[in-house]
Amino acid sequence: MSIWRVLLSIFFPPLAVLDKGCGSIIIVLLLTLCGWVPGVIAALVIINNPKS
């Protein structure tokens, strides 16, 4: 997890999970539309996941 991905997930969460697949992008986009904080948290969790 690089500092650029963390900054990108703070400022625009859906763009930070672009390489993780369509499902992740949709989930993070919907959470960001509901509120900025849930979108950022979801993006950071998805980025930090070592499995994908």
Q: Whole-angstrom Cα distance, residue 5 to residue 11?
A: 10
Instruction: Walk along the chain (52 residues) and give the pLDDT tens digit of each residue.
Output: 789 999 999 999 999 999 988 999 999 999 999 999 999 999 999 999 877 6
Global pTM value: 0.88
Domain residue limits at 43: 3-48
Structural domain count, the chain: 1
CA 51 to centroid of chain Cα atoms = 15
* Biggest CA pair distance of the chain: 27
CA 17 to centroid of chain Cα atoms = 5
